[in-house]
Every structure is written in C-alpha cells, then in structure tokens.
C-alpha cells in the first residue's frame, strides 16, 4: 500500500469526530509521555476531528470526572520528559469492587464518565494492576486499548515494557559508581534494585554493572553460598565485592514459609530492607566492611533512554492504528522485534518472571556471577 492509499484508508475509517480518553496508572516511569505522544501524533496525523481527553491521576480521574482536554501542543516537546503530564496514582485492582468513601461503585463511576463524555475508547498506560482494571472495564463493555508500562518488565505477553531500559541505565550507573568507591576502600557493597516480585531489572543492571552476586526473587538465595562467593573472591585477591539485590530477594528459608508467615517475618524484621539483612549476615560471617546503597525512585526518574523513546513511539503508533481500525480489547506489545497485539484477557493477572533455567541466567553463571545458590 502506498502512502496515499494509507491516508485515504485512515480517512475512510474515521468520517465523524472522535473523542478518546487517556490515562496513566500506577507507578510512573520515564517513557509515559513519549508513549502518549506516539498515540496522539499518529492520531492527529491521520484523522480529522480527533479530541483527546486526559484523565488526571489515573483511574481516579476517570472515576471522578477529573480530566483535561489535551491539545496537539500538549504533546509537543514531551518525548524526552520523564513522569507524566496527566499525573498518576495507584488504585489497587483488588479494591476496585469495593465502594468508595461515599459508598459509590467505582466501576460504575468509571463507566458513567466514559459514557457521559461519549468516548470512542479509553487508552490505558499501565503495569500489572492497571492491566487487570483495563480488562475489567473491557468486560464491562468499554472499548479499551492498553500499553505496557513498567520499569519491572514483568508484563506477560510482551518481551519488553517501556521504562525498563531507562531504569536499567540508571541502576547500572549506580552500580558503576559504586564500583570505583568499593575498589578504593576494599568494601563489600550491596546495591538494592527495584523489583518486589520479579528480578528483570536487577538481573540486567547486575550483569551490565559487573556485579559479582545477583539475588532475585525468582531464585531464593542461600546465605552460605553468598558468603562463600565473597570469601572466594577475597582469597583470589579481590579487595571488594558488589552485590545487586532485588527489593524482593528472598532466602531459601523464607521461600519455604507460607505467604502469611513470610509477611509476618518481614513486618517484625529489625532491618529496613532485605539488603540490610543480607549485609548484616555477611558482615557477621566474613568480618568484611559492608555498605548498602539504594537508588530507589531515581530508577523511575529522568529522561527516557533512546531505546525507550523508539519503543514508546512504536507502541503509541500501534495503539493509534488499533483505534483507527476500531480493534479494541488489546494490549500492544513487542515479540521478537515485531509489534503485536495481545488480548487483554490473556494479559490480565499474569506475571512474566525470570526463568531460573533460562539462558541468560546460565550465561551469567558461566561468567562467574553467583545467584546465591
Ligand atoms: O512497579 C514499579 C515499582 O517501581 C517497583 O519496582 C517498586 O517496587 C514499586 O514500584 C515502588 O512503588 P511506590 O512508587 O508506590 O513506592
């Protein structure tokens, strides 16, 4: 199809004016604006009479009719801007069916706003919980197109989420900076990387930053093995060791507990996070000097990296294409370099975890990285 034909087809698809809603939900990341820009630019480019309504602070804006009509100029100059121009908030999926403070049904509120504004569809940029709510709204009859946002890269159905590579850059940079000071002082450093349930970010930043030990939730660690690795390095003449530890790293003993007992153990722990607990154990057993560094929310901040800008632009254009074809109920994703659409019902409620037997783990282990097992 040549360009003229493409253009004619797009115009044929949309003869009447169209109003679409957009929201960003859950924890933010670097490439939300770039993704919204991708959607908006593609729609403005190909359709006449398009109006985009941005709901403020995620699903909350949709519930309480808190929105702003966005104009073409709002999407200008935001490709490189972190955060989200329409704000975000966490609205847990498990509470969606609970009435709000005034006893109103949240799902009904969202449906009412959607109908009142005469929306053609709702574009949702979100992570796991937000995709579940998007699917719930789809089940309730709303036209939904969603986009995979999260620094955790844990959304099922897509090889990559936007935000992930930018966060990998920041976490890697943190490890790089720690490397020089660790080497100067001859200390053991623990860098705690975001990711409560999955270890993609820790795994990638750990490998990229040359960590000696990587601990992720999917591979429960044995503290004796962690200590063994540090001592082996010392014996071999290394004056320092670097551990990349996911927020959700879990020991073998903890992994054998019930969820309830594990939560109780964590609540009563004297340590502010898992890294301090590991640091305490390592110091006790090796006598080496330990420091903990937590880059925390810096991992979600700043400008998106070029990879994310490209991915977000592609995702945004693909979402616009679905809207132009009126194909709803899908999340846009990427599989082996190709943009794909995945039914929301397949995505909702599934986590994409690091496989302990996967090739990246084997390769990392071959280079000498310890996973604490
Ligand atoms: O889901 C993204 C994420 O950044 C996780 O990696 C992290 O554990 C969590 O959000 C932090 O959430 P909050 O911003 O609510 O503290």
Percentages (nearest 5) of helix, strand, coil residues in the chain: 45, 20, 40
- What pLDDT does 12 receive? 53
Residues that are catalytic? 152
Tell me the per-residue pLDDT of 151-210, one tens digit each, with 9 for 90 and over.
999 999 999 999 999 999 999 999 999 999 999 999 999 999 999 999 999 999 999 999
**Angle of the 306-324 helix axis to the 164-185 helix axis, nearest 10:** 160
* Position in ligand 1 atom list of the atom nearest CA 299: 4
Q: Among 14-28, 35-49, 203-217, 243-257, which stretch is predicted with the lowest mean pLDDT?
A: 14-28
The token pair that represents 337 in the structure block: 């370099």
- Which 3 state secondary structure label does DSSP give 98? coil
Residues 66/56, Cβ–Cβ less than 8 Å = yes
Residues 272-301 as b or e (16 or more Cβ within 10 Å = b): ebbbbbbbebbeeebebebebbbbeeebbb
By C-alpha distance, which of 50, 39, 260, 298 is closest to 167? 298
Work out the burial of residue 209: count CB atoms within 10 Å of its CB; fewer than 13 is exposed, 13-18 middle, 19 or more buried.
buried
- What pLDDT does 303 receive? 98
By C-alpha distance, which of 128, 185, 167 is closest to 246? 167
Distance 194 CA to ligand 1 centre (A): 7
71 band by pLDDT with thresholds 50, 70 and 90: very high
**For the whole model, what pTM was predicted?**
0.94
Count CB atoms within 10 A of the CB of residue 227.
Answer: 18
Ligand 1 atom 2: residue of nearest CA:
27
Ligand 1 atom 5: residue of nearest CA:
195
Residues 163-177 as b or e (16 or more Cβ within 10 Å = b): bbbbbbbbbbbbbee
- Percent of the chain at pLDDT > 90 equals 95
Ligand 1 atom 11: residue of nearest CA:
27
The token pair that represents 352 in the structure block: 């994409």
- Percent of the chain at pLDDT > 70 equals 96
The whole-chain average pLDDT of the chain stands at: 95
DSSP readout, 168-179? HHHHHHHHHHHH
- What pLDDT does 5 receive? 59
Q: Which secondary structure element, helix H or strand E, spans residue 199, and what is its range?
A: none
* Position in ligand 1 atom list of the atom nearest CA 248: 8
9 band by pLDDT with thresholds 50, 70 and 90: low
Q: Regarding beta strands 330-335 and 338-343, do their DSSP bridges make them parallel or antiparallel, or are they unpaired?
A: antiparallel
Residue 3 has pLDDT above 50, yes or no: no
- What pLDDT does 8 receive? 53
- What pLDDT does 30 receive? 96
Q: Which residue has the tokens 């007992």?
A: 261
- What pLDDT does 209 receive? 98
| 144 phi, psi to nearest 5 deg | -125, 140
| Average pLDDT of the residues in 325-341 | 98
Distance 251 CA to ligand 1 centre (A): 21
- What pLDDT does 2 receive? 54
Give strand pairing partners of 18: 50
| 336 phi, psi to nearest 5 deg | 45, 45
Residue 82 has pLDDT above 50, yes or no: yes
7 band by pLDDT with thresholds 50, 70 and 90: very low
CA dihedral 270, 203, 226, 351 (to 10 degrees): 60
Residue 139 has pLDDT above 50, yes or no: yes
Distance 296 CA to ligand 1 centre (A): 9
């Amino acid at each position: 199809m040549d360009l003229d034909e493409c253009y004619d087809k797009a115009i044929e698809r949309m003869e009447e004016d169209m109003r679409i809603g957009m929201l960003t939900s859950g924890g933010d990341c670097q490439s939300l604006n770039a993704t919204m820009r991708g959607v908006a630019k593609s729609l403005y480019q190909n359709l006449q009479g398009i109006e985009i309504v941005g709901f403020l602070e995620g699903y909350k804006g949709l519930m309480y009719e808190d929105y702003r009509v966005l104009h073409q100029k709002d999407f200008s100059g935001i490709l490189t801007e972190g955060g989200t121009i329409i704000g975000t908030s966490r609205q847990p999926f498990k509470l969606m069916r609970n009435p709000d403070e005034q006893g109103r049904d949240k799902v009904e509120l969202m449906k009412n706003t959607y109908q009142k504004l005469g929306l053609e569809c709702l574009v949702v940029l979100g992570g796991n919980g937000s995709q579940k709510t998007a699917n719930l709204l789809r089940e309730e009859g709303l036209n939904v197109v969603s986009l995979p946002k999260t620094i955790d890269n844990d959304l099922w159905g897509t090889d990559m989420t936007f935000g992930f590579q930018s966060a990998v850059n920041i976490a890697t940079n943190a490890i790089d900076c720690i490397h020089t000071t660790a080497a100067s002082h001859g200390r053991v450093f623990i860098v705690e990387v975001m990711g409560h349930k999955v270890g993609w970010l820790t795994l990638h930043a750990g490998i990229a930053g040359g960590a000696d030990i990587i601990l992720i939730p999917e591979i429960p660690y044995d503290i004796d093995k962690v200590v063994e690795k540090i001592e082996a390095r010392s014996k071999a003449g290394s004056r320092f060791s670097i551990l990349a530890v996911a927020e959700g790293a879990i020991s073998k003993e903890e992994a054998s507990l019930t969820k309830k007992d594990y939560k109780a153990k964590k609540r009563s722990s004297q340590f502010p996070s898992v890294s301090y607990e590991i640091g305490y154990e390592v110091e006790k057993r090796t006598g080496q000097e330990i420091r903990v560094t937590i880059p925390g929310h810096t991992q979600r901040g700043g400008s998106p990296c070029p990879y994310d800008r490209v991915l977000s632009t592609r995702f945004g254009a693909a979402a616009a294409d679905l809207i132009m074809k009126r194909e709803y109920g899908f999340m846009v994703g990427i599989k082996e370099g190709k943009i794909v659409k995945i039914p929301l019902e397949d995505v909702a409620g599934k986590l994409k975890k690091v496989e302990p037997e996967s090739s990246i783990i084997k390769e990392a282990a071959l280079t000498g990285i310890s996973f604490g097992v």
